[in-house]
A and B are shown apart, each in its own frame.
Chain A
Amino acid sequence: AQSVTQLDSQVPVFEEAPVELRCNYSSSVSVYLFWYVQYPNQGLQLLLKYLSGSTLVKGINGFEAEFNKSQTSFHLRKPSVHISDTAEYFCAVSGSGTSYGKLTFGQGTILTVHP
């Protein structure tokens, strides 16, 4: 079984400051890792994904994440946030093969960017 823990339910930050949203996962098999963002009253939008290869993954809107297998973590970072980054962020994991279509999500982190 797989599980995802997002360590912070809410993260307030000032505009132009750096931010890190933390995610730890648990799985007995190889996994694929994702970060999605959800704006109010909208669906989920993919920020970035780790399937294999380089452990540093760059995504859209200036976000990046680093896969750390030994610490089973996949933390999301942005060096300078904007007001428009205010949203809820979800870390997710899926298995390979026929389990790829089943995403297991963390509980979400609400990022609030203050002017």
Chain B
Amino acid sequence: KAGVTQTPRYLIKTRGQQVTLSCSPISGHRSVSWYQQTPGQGLQFLFEYFSETQRNKGNFPGRFSGRQFSNSRSEMNVSTLELGDSALYLCASSLEVAGGRETQYFGPGTRLLVL
């Protein structure tokens, strides 16, 4: 079974631009979570989507948004990019089962550099 895929893998943008990152979960997984990883702040939770609805949200400004499609693929968008948005953005998917959920499996990430 194919793992979590993220596109693009690398991205360079300039301040003020916007960016959209894509995540395709493992087949059958309906929960998708996004994380930001930086050297200073470490791994921080952005948001989680399940069945096209945002289920959990982290403490990020409104410039960070996301959505999920009916096929469970998810996108996150960052508007008005700032230098501090340079990071590795990780997506994870998990399977909902009766009585709980299974492990989150992570993709390779999208490395965003804002100049």
Contact = CB atoms under 8 A, between A and B. Distances in A.
A90 interface: yes
Interface of A: 34, 36, 42-46, 49, 51, 90, 92, 96, 98-108
Contact of B45 (A43, A51, A96, A102): A102
A101 B108 contact: no
Contacts of B84: none
A100 B103 contact: no
B110 to A, nearest CB: 10
Contact of B33 (A43, A46, A90, A101): A101
A107 B106 CA distance: 17
B45 A103 contact: yes
Contacts of A104: 45
Interface residues of B, number: 25
B101 interface: yes
Nearest to A92: B43
Interface in B22-69: 31, 33, 35, 42-45, 48, 50, 55-56, 58
Nearest to B48: A101
Given A34-B103, A101-B101, A103-B35, 16 more contacts: A42-B108, A43-B90, A43-B107, A46-B103, A49-B103, A51-B100, A98-B56, A101-B31, A101-B55, A102-B48, A102-B56, A103-B45, A103-B104, A105-B35, A105-B44, A108-B42
Contacts of B107: 43
B42 A102 contact: no
B7 to A, nearest CB: 13
16 contacts: A36-B106, A45-B106, A46-B105, A90-B43, A100-B101, A102-B33, A102-B58, A103-B33, A103-B45, A103-B92, A103-B104, A104-B45, A105-B43, A105-B44, A106-B42, A108-B42
